[in-house]
Structure 1
Amino acid sequence: MTDPVRQALALWGLEGATSEFVAGRENRVYRIRSDQCDFALRIKRPGYRTEAELLSELQWLDAMHAAGLSVPRPRPALSGALLETVGSHYVDLVGWLSGRPLGQSRDRLAIDDAPGIFACLGAEIARLHDACDAWRRPDTFTRCAWDLDGLLGDDPLWGRFWENPTLDPETRQLLQQFRQEAVRDLGAMGSCADYGLIHADIVRENVLVDGPNLRLIDFDDGGFGYRLFDIATALLKNIDEPNCGELQAALVSGYRSRRRIDEKMLDLFLALRAVTYVGWIVPRITEEHGADRNARFIRTARRLCSAYLGQPHRA
């Protein structure tokens, strides 16, 4: 059987490079070590993104790198294309960024001066949003939208969370009620909302800490959305930290050091981010650890939706 990694590397003239598998979910990611430098080779899961969406992501990354952000920079193949195909898979190659992840989900944060890091992260997210607003996108640019329909419509981007088959009747009713009120409240924001291109997945694993520098990776779910959604995503996995309030204040303060933000609706976006995972996990429940993750996602969503609706929380 032909090795797709070797096939892909040949398209970039990297036949002599070594590869190491590092991650596999929506993409299979390999660290490529060559005489030039290190790269990340990404082999895409068929059907998850269209060719136009994948190319738009690479154009976006290239523009953000040109704007001075520390993001993976796409490398053109020998053909000059940013995106190639190997068999039924799209593949691309981006620069490998140094640093270690901010943390791992479910583990306690183990970093020095966590509030200081979160203040820097807030400022970096604001820099990203500023650069996105300043970028003149190609006419062909297309990405998903984390808008009202993408979050709460009949066919949300990450699935109909209120129909997760493992929900008990009480939790299902809670999520349906939250959906109804969230549609009303999100719709009321209207033109007052800060909306534009967002990363949409600023979890710990996608933030690399390299000394005083922070780097953002994995724009696979990036698209158009509410800027508060990025803030909520960066905070959600930290809500069980003993100093969660301090981390939230630091993140918002760091963002405000570069860009305006109205955090009055942050509780809504925390709950919105939580329920997306209840939909996302449905086709993945049977995977290893899927049932445990599903139960954890439901607990978090129940907690945050109850708080938003002003209802007693059932542990």
Structure 2
Amino acid sequence: MSDLIARALPVYGLPPDTPLTLLNRSENETWRAGPLVLRLHRQGYHTKAEIASELAWLGALQDLPGLNTVRPLTGAQGLVTEVDGRFLVAFAPIPGQELQPGDDLARWFAPLGEITARLHLHARKWTPPPGFTRKRWDVETILGPHPHWGPWRQAQGLDPQAEALLSRATEALAARLTAYGTGPKVFGLIHADLRLANLMVDGDTLSVLDFDDCGFSWWVYDLAAALSFYETDPRLPDLIARWVDGYTRIAPLRAEDRAMIPSLIFLRRVLLTAWLSTRADSDTAQALGGPAYTQGTLQLAERYLTDGLRDFHP
């Protein structure tokens, strides 16, 4: 892929011999190219219109008070570059380090709640441009027969007994989410992937990266995404409480929404269990995937059926 990235450099006014460094291989590939960060999109996932829509929202978020986000940059082809049938976009680098599971997460979850509330307030009032299109993250597209990130039944380490358990749990989950609904009070345009790898810390500043999965989902799903890959960590009840505290400093959070937090955390865990199987080539899957992650999902499924993950209620 470095050859393809090199061919895109002139589009951004960079010489062909600009040093290239692969930063991450997840859903997409992220490269450092001199003064820029380039994202090479996975083939067959987002359309050009979807990518342009992501960048339209990201552009509208620039320089809002209390919100620090990555800044998209324009090349000779506009915001979205196409080379050999692949889409690339460019961003200005952000100083700092990604948050890690071993960091003092309690320090950052109230600020993250504030940031999330600001994103939601903006999305509720913003009028998208004509042609705006982003994926939905709902019962059908996560748990249905043709999910965006693949079926959870392909997860590693699932025997028939485990599959039956997870089937019962996801049926109960789908029923609760369907009853919760998708009206504007509970559902709208969100980041949808506020996991630690997409949060940059520089001193006292927390910045949000990678809107690649932004789309239409439940507002509180943004909290569930922030807990990605460590949903069984004993710190979760405290982190949830801190996030809620930060969120409600900026925007209200109804009792009905708080009550759905455990269900949405379980939904995210099931989604990631599927993703780790269908994206086994990613750095994330190689570091975190496999039967052990599936076993953690089964533990949550058992608890979900037993008490609805009551420990996660803020």
Query: Paired residue for 2:53?
Result: 56
Q: Which residue of 2 aligns with 1:307?
A: 303
| 1:154-201, Cα deviation, whole Å (9 max, x unpaired) | 222222213546411121111111222122111111238521111111
Aligned to 1:6: 6
| Percentage identity across paired residues of the two chains | 32
**Unpaired segments ≥5 residues, structure 1:** none
Q: 1:281 maps to what in 2?
A: 276
Query: Structure 1 length as normaliser, TM-score?
Result: 0.87
Rounded Cα–Cα distance in structure 1 between residues aligned with 2:136 and 2:207: 23
Q: How far off its partner does 1:88 sit?
A: 2.2
Corresponding residue of 1:179: 170
1:126 alignment partner, one of 111, 117, 128:
117
Q: What is the distance in 1 between the residues matched to 2:128 and 2:110?
A: 29
Q: Is the CA contact (8 Å cut-off) linking 1:163 and 1:172 kept in structure 2?
A: no
Give the corresponding residue for 2:23.
Answer: 22
How far apart, CA to CA, are the structure 2 residues paired with 1:254 and 1:17?
42
Structure 2, gaps ≥5 residues long? 310-314
Equivalent position amino acid for 2:102 in 1? L
Partner of 2:312: none
Q: Distance in 2 between matches of 1:228 and 1:307?
A: 20
Counterpart residue number, 2:215:
223
Does 2:90 match 1:93? yes
Q: 1:291 to 1:29 in 2, by over 3 A?
A: closer
Cα displacement (A) at 1:230: 0.8
Match of 1:202 in 2: 194
Q: How does 1:28-47 map to 2 (within 5 A)?
A: 28-33=29-34, 38-47=35-44
Asked if residue 137 in structure 1 is aligned to residue 133 in structure 2, the reply is no
Structure-2 residue corresponding to 1:256: 248
CA shift at 1:41, angstroms?
1.1
For 1:4, the aligned partner's letter is L
| Higher relative contact order, chain-length normalized (CA < 8 Å, sep 6+) | 2
The alpha-carbon distance between structure 1 residues 41 and 165, as it changes in their structure 2 partners (threshold 3 A), is: closer
Letter matched to residue 26 of structure 2: R
Distance 1:144 1:151 in 2: 11
Instruction: State the distance in 1 between where 2:148 and 2:156 align.
Output: 18
Distance 1:231 1:263 in 2: 11
Amino acid at match of 1:58: L
Using structure 2 for the length normalisation, give the TM-score.
0.87
Answer with 241-250 or 219-228: which moved more: 241-250
Q: How many residues align?
A: 302
Q: Is the 8 A contact 2:229 2:288 kept in 1?
A: no
Question: Cα RMSD (Å) of the superposition?
Answer: 2.5
C-alpha displacement of 1:122: 0.9
